[in-house]
A and B are shown apart, each in its own frame.
Chain A
Amino acid sequence: MSCDTYRDLMMKYFDGDINDVECAQLRQHTKICKSCREEFEQMKGILESLESDSLAEPPSDFQDQVMAKIDSFEKERKRNLEAVIYGIPILILISLPAIIFIRFSGNRVMDMMINAFEYFMPFTGVSDVIGNIVSALNIIVSGMSERMAQGGRELMKSYNDVLMMLVAVLIFVEWLFIKLVKRSWRKA
């Protein structure tokens, strides 16, 4: 057998996968072959030193450190989840009726708001100034959105019932969603 064959046996030896016969063959060969003996001894020294030197102990409070990090990660995740679960539906719930209300009733809402403002602010001049500003804004906005609003209003008039049903369905779905997530929280 050539030295290459014994080199394979060496690797098997370091794999811990050598049988008695092969081990005896290897030992026999290293007795008579200097280069193989050197190679074997050197490699054995290196790998044994490597193996003896491998055990690093974690600090005694390692487990606590990890669990503290996990806790803060969980809290963060909960906060994010809360923000999504409560934030988005609340935003929708608040904004949806407002949008629909203004859409349906148009300028009347604006008048109501100005009247309310006048009621709470007992200075007559103020409401005039605000009225002027609002009417100026109205002219600008109405110029731009007249066509869009016209189209939208017509659409809403013809599909009034459908829209109301959609809103009801949306609110119902949101309520279900919140319930489901809360239940999964309790489980977790």
Chain B
Amino acid sequence: MEVSDLELVQQCLSGDKNAFSEIVARYKKLIYSVVYNLTPDKQEVNDIAQEVFIRIYKSLDRYNPQYKFSTWAVKIATNLCLDMLRKKKVNSVPLEEIAGASSNVDTPEANYIKNERSRQIRKAIDELPEKYRVPIILFHQNGLSYEEMTKVLNEPMTIVKNRLYRARLMLREKLADIRKEEVL
């Protein structure tokens, strides 16, 4: 039977480092992709994701078992990413090519269009104000539920819902503007 997250945390707290290694193994994909989606500068993703796990390690004694471990970890990751962004105050978004999603069945042209499209979407998201950007990323890219988002963001359900709705509309408007510019 698989050891539960809480048991792993307790093992870590009593000094078992292998238990933390298991925690990293379980949540590295989730944390890495949350950090990836929330960090405009992709070169920093690896460092920030590692820092998230170190923070998790340092604050294991403050883990509240009422939360799902994943929710708590995402909360730490989100807070760290936002802190980093605020510190850097990035005004310009680096034009990072997102090629990861391309499949080799597509023709080069189709690939290019697809990448171009996802680059535009990425850029539009990065330009959204923080309070709209974070919910849309957590919900649509990292697959968090509303319940989890209320805990990660420390906001009531109604506010989270409203922001997500608003974020979708803003995103659509932004991208519609880009299309109009392209047509002209």
Contacts and interface: CB of A to CB of B under 8 A. Distances in A.
A91 B180 CA distance: 75
A49 B49 contact: no
A46 interface: yes
Interface residues of B, number: 41
Interface string A22-51: 000000000000000001001100110111
B15 A187 contact: yes
A56 B54 contact: no
Contacts of B146: 15
A46 B171 contact: yes
B45 interface: yes
B101 A69 contact: no
Contacts of A57: 29, 32
B151 interface: no
Interface stretch (A58-66, A93-101, A125-133): A58-66
Range for the number of chain A residues in contact with chain B: 20 to 34
B63 interface: no
Contact of B28 (A52, A55, A62): A62
A169 interface: no
A39 B14 CA distance: 54
A69 to B, nearest CB: 6
Interface stretch (B16-24, B69-77, B82-90): B16-24
A66 B24 contact: yes
Contact of A67 (B14, B24, B36): B24
Contacts of B37: 54, 56
A55 B45 CA distance: 13
A50 B118 CA distance: 7
Contacts of A70: 17, 20, 53-54, 57
Nearest to A62: B28
A179 to B, nearest CB: 19
Interface of A: 11, 14-15, 39, 42-43, 46-47, 49-59, 62-63, 65-67, 69-71, 73-74, 187-188
Interface of B: 14-15, 17, 20-21, 24-25, 28-29, 32-33, 36-37, 45-46, 49-50, 53-54, 57-58, 98, 100-101, 117-118, 121-122, 125, 136, 140-142, 146, 164-165, 168, 171-172, 175-176
Nearest first, the 10 closest Cβ-Cβ pairs linking A and B are A54-B141, A56-B36, A58-B32, A188-B15, A53-B101, A66-B53, A58-B28, A56-B33, A53-B118, A50-B140
